[in-house]
Amino acid sequence: MIEIKQLTKCYGNLVALDHLDLTIASGTLFGFIGPNGAGKTTTLRMIAGVLEPTSGQIYLNGVDITKNVSQSKWSIGYMPDFFGVYEDMQVWEYLDFFARCYRLDATQRQHIVDELLELVDLGHKRMEWVQSLSRGMRQRLCLAQALVHDPQILLLDEPASGLDPRARIEIRELLKELSIMGKTIIISSHILTELDEMCHQVGIIEHGQLQYSGTPEGLINRHLERQLLFRTLANAEQVESALNMYSGVTGFHADGKGWHVKLQGDDIAMAGLLTHLIEHKLDIIHFMEKDRNLESIFMQVTKGDMARG
């Protein structure tokens, strides 16, 4: 559905996006991850057609939108990180206004407004003024607005930013439902645990360069540094001697919880370390791998400094 080739955006000597290559299949819920200033918003704006690339191509369903931006806007729903709403409108009127912008006739507009209000669970707020809505309700209303022309692709820039836990859960469940409906969704977010739970694919970007693209499971399995914890009856000198002799161990320390070990390798290497410790007469009473999730891997993959654009 989305294919990006060598996409670059420069502001003078500042490189905000550096030759990005990315492919996203139809119906995928794609999580775009990166530090502030990494290039996420720049990428979404160029896909949405509101920012012109310096170079490169963007294909939506096989069509090069860099040559026909106006045509692409009919297949895209874009929800920016900072959005504005017309507060002097009722909720139904707000959606009807945007349906008119897409030149939908009166019968279509009424049907679509009713469906969208039900989808985002705002039917009971139909006659309320937009300014009376909570932040979470406004987020859902703006998501409904991005869907008013039934686009194939949704671009959502930090849609859960500033929301309370309940509102974030509501947005997350709504995005899952839209994905099931066949929408191709790109969502940028700093809430990595939620992306881990709902995304089919993720992309990590830093300094305008893509560091990884694939499944969350693939990222975790690819990054082979394991964080282990074990407890033993052996003394510190015995433990240190045994750990220093195992080639995959890259670091270790002890605290009140036990011995924390960094290990480079796969499941075989982890099993081998346990065997190694036992063979060196260490009485192991607890041995486990710490959770490896998207958040912990992200902290290891990225350097954590500010990107250039």
Q: Is residue 277 part of a domain?
A: yes
Q: How far apart are CA 147 and CA 145, in angstroms?
A: 5
Q: Total domain count for the chain? A: 2
Query: At 195, which helix (H) or strand (E)?
Result: helix 192-198
- 98 and 169 in a single domain? The answer is yes
Q: Is residue 300 part of a domain?
A: no
Q: Is residue 132 part of a domain?
A: yes
- 241 and 197 in a single domain? The answer is no
pLDDT digits (tens, 9 = 90+) for 192-241: 776 777 889 999 898 899 988 888 877 766 665 788 999 999 999 999 99
User: Which one of 155, 186, 214 terminates a domain?
Assistant: 214
- 110 and 179 in a single domain? The answer is yes
Mark residue 294 as left, alpha or beta (left: phi above 0; alpha: psi -120 to 50; beta: remaining): alpha
Look up tokens 């099931």; give the residue: 180
- 52 and 181 in a single domain? The answer is yes
* Tokens describing residue 8: 């670059």
Q: Is residue 219 part of a domain?
A: no
* Tokens describing residue 122: 């705002």
- 195 and 230 in a single domain? The answer is no
Domain encompassing residue 29: 2-214
Q: How far apart are CA 131 and CA 138, in angstroms?
A: 9
Question: Do residues 21 and 2 touch, judged by C-beta distance below 8 A?
Answer: no
> What is the CATH classification number for the domain harbouring 117?
3.40.50.300
pLDDT digits (tens, 9 = 90+) for 127-186: 999 999 988 888 889 999 999 999 999 999 988 777 778 878 888 888 888 999 899 999
Cut 0.85: pTM above it? no
- 117 and 241 in a single domain? The answer is no
pLDDT digits (tens, 9 = 90+) for 284-295: 999 999 877 666
Query: At 20, which helix (H) or strand (E)?
Result: strand 14-24
Helices (H) and strands (E) in the chain, counts: 11, 14
